[in-house]
Amino acid sequence: MRFNEKELVLLSRQPSERAAELGMRGPKKGDVVKKRLVKLVVNFLFYFRTDEEEPIGALLLEQCRVEREDSQTFSIAFLDEAERKYVFECDTEEQCAEWIDSIIKASYEFMRKNLIFYRTEIHRLTGKDPLEQYGISDEARFQVSNGRPLPTVPFLWHFDSDPFM
């Protein structure tokens, strides 16, 4: 997937769903936990050095698994690259739960499944397809995919060679 670096920097400056300084460990063997400003904007998780305004990297939160590691730690691993696991340390158990919930809800796939669920419920209750009035009811993205996930590519983006230095 291609992204324009300037557009991503602009996106990183938009209001965030959630932002905090968290401990972050990268996916490489030997990476250590570093304090990073982490911002969730739409379905991107941007991370910054705590004293800088531009992000040093971003994770596109699609086709990934978010797991609680312990009471104050969670991880993000991409389904196609399970060995590339990012670990985040929170200050409290509550903060950890909030981050996990926000990240899960940020993905396009989560929103798509919710749209399909509510579309089905509205159709069941009213007998009408709520998307029909917009002329988009037959588009593939609004259809159930028979249990198979839509193909997407995990995306990792870095501004420099090693953002964990």
> For 1-35, what is each residue's pLDDT tens digit?
567 889 999 999 999 999 999 999 999 988 999 99
How far apart are alpha carbons 109 and 60 in whole angstroms? 12
- 105 vs 109, more confident: 105
Same domain, 52 and 80: yes
* CA 75 to mean position of chain CA atoms: 12
Same domain, 21 and 69: yes
In a domain, 54, yes or no: yes
Same domain, 70 and 91: yes
Same domain, 90 and 74: yes
Taking 50 as the threshold, does the pLDDT of residue 151 lie above it? no
Position 137 scores a pLDDT of 79
Report the domain count for the chain: 2
Same domain, 61 and 30: yes
| Least confident segment among 1-15, 43-57, 60-74 | 1-15
Q: What count of residues does the chain have?
A: 165
Domain with 115 in it: 110-141
Mean pLDDT of all residues in 126-131: 90
Give the residue from 41, 57, 71 showing the smallest Cα distance to 5.
57
Contact of 155 with 59, CB cutoff 8 Å = yes
Same domain, 87 and 135: no
CATH number at residue 53: 2.30.29.30
Going by pLDDT thresholds of 50, 70 and 90, the confidence category of residue 144 is: low
In a domain, 165, yes or no: no
Same domain, 34 and 79: yes
Same domain, 19 and 81: yes
In a domain, 163, yes or no: no
Give the residue from 37, 15, 157, 135 showing the smallest Cα distance to 88.
37
How many Å from the N-terminal Cα to the C-terminal Cα in the chain? 25
Mean pLDDT (the chain) is 86
Q: Is the full-model pTM beyond 0.85?
A: no
